[in-house]
Structure 1
Amino acid sequence: MFLVNKSGEVKSEAVKVSVDKNGFDANGRMVAYFGSPVMDGTLDEIWNNAQAVIPKYVTGSEDTSATFKALWDDNALYILAIVKDKYLSVKPEAPYMQDSLEVFLDENNDKSEEYGIDDLHFRVNYENYQTVDNGNVEQFYTCSHIVEDGYIIEVRIALKSKPVNGKVLGIELQINDAKETERVGTISVFDSTGNAWKDTSKFGEILLTGRTESSVTGLNPYDLLNLIKSTKKLNFTLYKNSQIVTDAMNMAEKLLAGKNVTQMQIVEQYSAIIEAIDKLEMTEEAANDKYFKPVPYEYRANSTKQGTIETLEYTAVNLENGTDVKRLNVYLPYGYDESKVSKKYNVIYLMHGGGENENLIFGGPGKNKDLKKILDNMIEKGDIEPLIVVTPSFYGGKNDVALFHEELIHTVVPLIEGKYHTYAASTEDRDLKASREHRAFGGFSMGSVTTWYIFIHCLDYFKYFMPLSGDCWVYGQKAGSSKPSETAEYLSKAAKEAGYKPQDYYLFCATGNLDIAYPNLKPQVDAMKQLKESFIYSSDTSKGNFYFIVAEGGTHAWNWVNQYIYDILPDLFK
C-alpha cells in the first residue's frame, strides 16, 4: 500500500453549475469538478463533491440501474460508476457482453465519425478485467469491487493535453448488463443508437470546471502502477538480462509501499523501469518470434502526401443463376499517375469482417480513415514502397467466404490489374500467375477465414497472405481449435499439391490475446509450427515463411487490426 496526499478537494469558492434533476447542465452536458480522488480500493470522500448523473437510455435492463460521477485534475479525468445489479456474470465470451463499464472519450471533442488519435474506447468489468478497443491501455487505471447490491468501478484516464476550466470533452459512458452467458441490456448516458463504439459523433459532452487558484492536483502513482503491471506481463524467459528489469520494479514497489512519497521519486522510478526495459537483450531463440509494435502516434495523423480512394463497380455471378452489382474501393498511393505506365505497383487485396462491407476500411472517395493515414505515412517515411490496396466484399455474388476465391480470380483481380499499373503484363491467366509475387491477400475476422480459403485455392495467384484474427474453417467453424492438426495438415497438403515449397509463399498471422479469435487461431498456428516441411516459423523472412504476432491486450477490433497490418507491411514484397 502507498500513502498519497488527498489534496485537490473542490474548494468552497468554486462556482457550482446549475443542473437538472438528472445531473445535466443547461446544455445537456455532464459536469466534472476539480479534484484528485485517491484510488486505493475504498471510495475517497472527495467523490461526495462530484455531481451525480442518471443515464438517459436504458435498453433491456429492467432490474439494473447506474449512477455516474466525474472529477478531473491537471493530469486526468476520473469516472465513478455505481451500478445496482443483483445478477452479475462474466460468463459471456466477448468482453462487451459481460457486466462491465465502457468509457468512450473524444479528448478534442471534434465528433468525427471515425475514431481518431485522440479518441478512446475502454472497458472494465466488475472483476477489474480490462479490455481496450481504441487507445493505449496505460492511459487507464481502474479499481472495481462488488458491493451488496451490485458493483462500483473507478476509472482514471490520463489525458494527453492539459485540461483547464471550461474545456469540454466528448464522452459516453455505458453499462453492459449480463445474465449467465448473454448480454441482456445496456445503460447509456448519451447514445440512444448503440453506435458509440464506431462513431464518436454519438458521444455527449462533459464540462470541466471548479479549478481555483488554490486547487492542487494530488499525487499520481497510477502511471507507475500501470507500468509495473504491464512490465510484469513480459515473458522474462525471452531475455538474457531480465534481472535489470525485475530489480527496477522491486525498487519502484518498495517506494510505493513507503511513506512520504513525492511525485519526483515516482517519476524517477518510472524512468528507471523504462531505461531497464530498453536495455533488455533477447535470447537467440526468442528473436525468432515476431512481436507486436504499436503504430506510432504520428502515423495516425494526416500525412503531407496523401493517397486517394476510388470506387469501382462490377458484376458478380450469384447462386440464383443471376448477377449482382457490387463495389470495391481502391487505395492509390500519393504520386500515382495514370500516364506513367512504366511505374508498377504491388497490390494487397484486403477483406473486411462479418457484418461489415467494402467501405469499412477506407470509407470511400474523399475519406481519410485510420488505415489510409497509416499507409500514407509509411509510404511518405519510406517504410514501404508505394502500393495499391483493394477492399472488396464477400457479401453479394455467391455470398460465401468459401466461394469468394472464384469471384476474386475471375472478376476482381482482372478488373484491378487491367485498370491500374500493376506487375501483371495482362489479365490473361498466365500473366496473373506470373506476377503472383507482387500480390497479397489478407483479412480480419471473417475476412481472415476468407484468407485461409484464398491460400487453399489461389496459391497460383498470390504469394503473401495475412490472416488476422480468424482461423481456417475448412473443417467447420472454430476448426482451428477443435481440429488444429487436421486443419494444419490440410493447409500443408494444399501447398504441396499446388507444387509450392515454403520459400514460394508467406503466411503472416496476427491477433490479440484478448481477441475472441485467439483461442481458435493459436492452436492452429501451433499445429502448423510442427509441419516444418511446409511452414517454417521465423520472424526473419530470409529464414522462414510463417509467423504469428500476438498483441498483449488486443481485442477483436479494427484499431488493433490496423496495427497488425502496420507491423506486417514491411515484410511483404521483398
Structure 2
Amino acid sequence: MVRINVTGLPDKYLWSVIEERQGFVQEITYMVNNYINHSRQLVTSGNIDMDEAGREIVTGDALMKKCNIYLPAGYDPNDVAVRYNVLYLLHGVGGNQYEWLRSNGKVKERFIICNIFDNLIANGEIEPLIIVFPNGRSAYDWTDSSFNSEGTNMLGFYYFDYELRHDLIPFIELNYNTYADIMNTSHEGIKYNRTRRAIAGLSMGGMQALNLILGGYRYDSTLFTGTKSHWNNGLDKTVLAPGLIDLFDYVGAFSNAPTSSDGKILGSSLASCAFKLQLLYTTCGSEDGVANNSFLNSIDQLIHEAGDDLAHYYEIIIKDGIHDFNVWNNGAYNFSRLAFRNFDDQLMSNVVKKVL
C-alpha cells in the first residue's frame, strides 16, 4: 500500500520524456445543445426545470464548440479492450480551451502541462488517462474571452454544468475508449462511472468545480438581477446549481475565483447528495491577491457541513504563491496523483492541511 505524499512539483517534470512516452493533443469539435442564447435564455434539448435553471427555457439550434484532448502515449482508438479514466481541466475567466496548454508555456516546444502528465505516467505515479480541456462558456458567444459582467459569455460560465452532463461527457464517452459510460444509468453503473471521472479548474474554473459540481450558486449581472454585487464585480447570485456529484468522485479547485460559494453552502449541498465525494482538493497561493479571500470563504465550514459525505479533503497553501501556473501546475500534479485511487486501501487522513 502506497501513501501519497503531497509535495512540490519536481522541476524535472517540466521537461519532456523520451518521444515514445509522449502523449499528444488533438483539437476536436462537438455539438452543444445546452447553452445561453443572446436573450439570456437557456437553450436545451433536455427536460430541465425553469425554477432549477433560474431563467426561461427555450429550444434552439445546436452550437458547434471546440475543446482540446490529451491522449496518453500508446492510445489506440481501435483497441477497445484498453480503457482510460478521464480528467476534465477547466480554465480561467480570460482563458479558453488552450489556457492550460499555451498560457502555461512550453519547454523546448512541448507544452508544460503535457510534460507533467507524461512524466507522471512514465514514472508509474498515475495510470494513463485522457485529459479534456474544454471551453467553459456555455453560451452562443463562447469564443468571447473578455471580462464583461453583463455579457452572455460570462453568464455561460455559470451554466456549463448542463453542457457537461448532456453534451461534452456523452461525446467523450461515445468517441473515446473510457471506463465510464454515461449511457449506463443503472444505480451500479452511476456509482462505477463517477469513480472514473475527475474534474478540476484554475481560478474561474476552480469556481466552476465548486459551484457547479458540488452545488453552489449561479451568478448573473446585477443589471438583470436588480440586486447588489457582494463581490463588487457586477455579479450577484441567483439560484443554486443542483451539482454533478453523481458524475464525479474527485474534484479540485485551484485558486478558485470570486463568486465561489461559501463553505457552508457547498458543504450543505454535499451533505444532501445521494453520493459521497471521495476527494476534494483545494489549493491557493499565500500571496494571491485575486483569489485568497474567495478561497478562504469557500473552505470555511465546508468539511463541517459536509460531514461523512466528504471522504478526503486536502487544503494546500503554496507559500509565497500568487495567481499563476506555479500554483496551478502543482495543483494538477498532486490532484492527479490522488484521484482514481481506492482510498480505503491506503492509510490516508480524512483531512490534510499543508503548506508547501
Structure-2-length-normalised TM-score: 0.68
Deviation at 1:414, TM superposition (A): 0.7
Match of 1:464 in 2: 250
Q: Which of these residues, 53, 56, 66, is aligned with residue 327 of structure 1?
A: 66
1:454 partnered with 2:213 = yes
**1:330-341 superposed matches below 5 A:** 330-341=69-80
| Residues 189-217 of structure 1 deviation map (CA, whole Å, 9 limit, x = unaligned) | xxxxxxxxxxxxxxxxxxxxxxxxxxxxx
| Residues 54-92 of structure 1 deviation map (CA, whole Å, 9 limit, x = unaligned) | xxxxxxxxxxxxxxxxxxxxxxxxxxxxxxxxxxxxxxx
**1:377-388 superposed matches below 5 A:** 377-388=119-130
- Mark the CA change 1:327 to 1:533 in structure 2 (over 3 Å): closer, same or farther: same
Please give the alpha-carbon distance, in whole angstroms, between the structure 1 residues aligned to 2:314 and 2:164: 25
Please give the alpha-carbon distance, in whole angstroms, between the structure 1 residues aligned to 2:81 and 2:318: 40
When the two chains are superposed, the root-mean-square deviation of aligned CA atoms in Å is: 2.5
Match of 2:110 in 1: 368
Q: Which of these residues, 308, 312, 316, is aligned with residue 32 of structure 2?
A: 316
| Residues 41-62 of structure 1 deviation map (CA, whole Å, 9 limit, x = unaligned) | xxxxxxxxxxxxxxxxxxxxxx
**1:94-493 superposed matches below 5 A:** 293-304=7-18, 305-317=21-33, 318-320=35-37, 321-363=60-102, 368-397=110-139, 399=153, 400-425=156-181, 427-430=183-186, 431=189, 434-452=192-210, 453-456=212-215, 457-470=243-256, 477=259, 479=261, 487-493=262-268
Match of 1:191 in 2: none
For 1:354, give the aligned amino acid. Answer: V
Q: Which of these residues, 285, 295, 302, is aligned with residue 528 of structure 1?
A: 302
SS at match of 2:8: coil
Q: Is the 8 A contact 1:424 1:435 kept in 2?
A: yes
- Mark the CA change 1:315 to 1:397 in structure 2 (over 3 Å): closer, same or farther: farther
Match of 2:271 in 1: 496
Please give the alpha-carbon distance, in whole angstroms, between the structure 2 residues aligned to 1:395 and 1:524: 22
Deviation at 1:339, TM superposition (A): 2.3
Deviation at 1:396, TM superposition (A): 4.7
Q: Is the 8 A contact 1:329 1:362 kept in 2?
A: no
SS at match of 1:505: strand
- Mark the CA change 1:302 to 1:531 in structure 2 (over 3 Å): closer, same or farther: same
Deviation at 1:532, TM superposition (A): 5.9
Deviation at 1:510, TM superposition (A): 0.8
SS at match of 2:119: helix
1:519 partnered with 2:275 = no
Q: Is the 8 A contact 1:347 1:387 kept in 2?
A: yes
For 1:459, give the aligned amino acid. Answer: I
Deviation at 1:380, TM superposition (A): 0.5
| Residues 258-284 of structure 1 deviation map (CA, whole Å, 9 limit, x = unaligned) | xxxxxxxxxxxxxxxxxxxxxxxxxxx
Match of 1:179 in 2: none
For 2:337, give the aligned amino acid. Answer: P
Please give the alpha-carbon distance, in whole angstroms, between the structure 2 residues aligned to 1:443 and 1:402: 14
| Residues 284-325 of structure 1 deviation map (CA, whole Å, 9 limit, x = unaligned) | xxxxx975x322121111111100111110122333334332
- Mark the CA change 1:360 to 1:532 in structure 2 (over 3 Å): closer, same or farther: closer
Q: Is the 8 A contact 1:345 1:387 kept in 2?
A: yes
Q: Is the 8 A contact 1:362 1:368 kept in 2?
A: no
Please give the alpha-carbon distance, in whole angstroms, between the structure 1 residues aligned to 2:199 and 2:182: 20
SS at match of 1:451: helix
Deviation at 1:432, TM superposition (A): 5.6
Match of 1:178 in 2: none
For 1:439, give the aligned amino acid. Answer: R
SS at match of 1:530: helix
Deviation at 1:493, TM superposition (A): 2.6
Deviation at 1:434, TM superposition (A): 3.8
Q: Which runs of 5+ in 2 are unaligned?
A: 38-59, 141-152, 216-242, 342-356
For 1:555, give the aligned amino acid. Answer: I
Match of 2:56 in 1: none
Please give the alpha-carbon distance, in whole angstroms, between the structure 1 residues aligned to 2:66 and 2:301: 37
SS at match of 2:89: strand
SS at match of 2:125: coil
Compare CA radii of gyration and give the structure with the larger one: 1
Please give the alpha-carbon distance, in whole angstroms, between the structure 1 residues aligned to 2:128 and 2:249: 18
Deviation at 1:368, TM superposition (A): 2.5
Please give the alpha-carbon distance, in whole angstroms, between the structure 2 residues aligned to 1:432 and 1:363: 34
Deviation at 1:425, TM superposition (A): 4.2
Please give the alpha-carbon distance, in whole angstroms, between the structure 2 residues aligned to 1:327 and 1:573: 26
Match of 2:238 in 1: none
Please give the alpha-carbon distance, in whole angstroms, between the structure 1 residues aligned to 2:115 and 2:274: 38
Please give the alpha-carbon distance, in whole angstroms, between the structure 1 residues aligned to 2:321 and 2:309: 25
| Residues 536-574 of structure 1 deviation map (CA, whole Å, 9 limit, x = unaligned) | 6xxxxxxx4111110001111123201121122111100
Please give the alpha-carbon distance, in whole angstroms, between the structure 1 residues aligned to 2:318 and 2:182: 40
Higher-RCO chain (CA-CA 8 Å, sequence separation at least 6): 2
Please give the alpha-carbon distance, in whole angstroms, between the structure 2 residues aligned to 1:535 and 1:526: 16
Deviation at 1:359, TM superposition (A): 1.2
For 2:99, give the aligned amino acid. Answer: L
For 1:406, give the aligned amino acid. Answer: Y
| Residues 152-179 of structure 1 deviation map (CA, whole Å, 9 limit, x = unaligned) | xxxxxxxxxxxxxxxxxxxxxxxxxxxx
Q: Is the 8 A contact 1:528 1:535 kept in 2?
A: no
1:565 partnered with 2:332 = yes
For 1:525, give the aligned amino acid. Answer: I
Please give the alpha-carbon distance, in whole angstroms, between the structure 1 residues aligned to 2:171 and 2:260: 33
Q: Which runs of 5+ in 1 are unaligned?
A: 1-288, 480-486, 537-543
| Residues 77-124 of structure 1 deviation map (CA, whole Å, 9 limit, x = unaligned) | xxxxxxxxxxxxxxxxxxxxxxxxxxxxxxxxxxxxxxxxxxxxxxxx
* Number of aligned positions between the proteins: 264
Match of 2:224 in 1: none
Q: Which of these residues, 277, 280, 289, is aligned with residue 507 of structure 1?
A: 280
Deviating more after overlay: 317-326 vs 426-435? 426-435
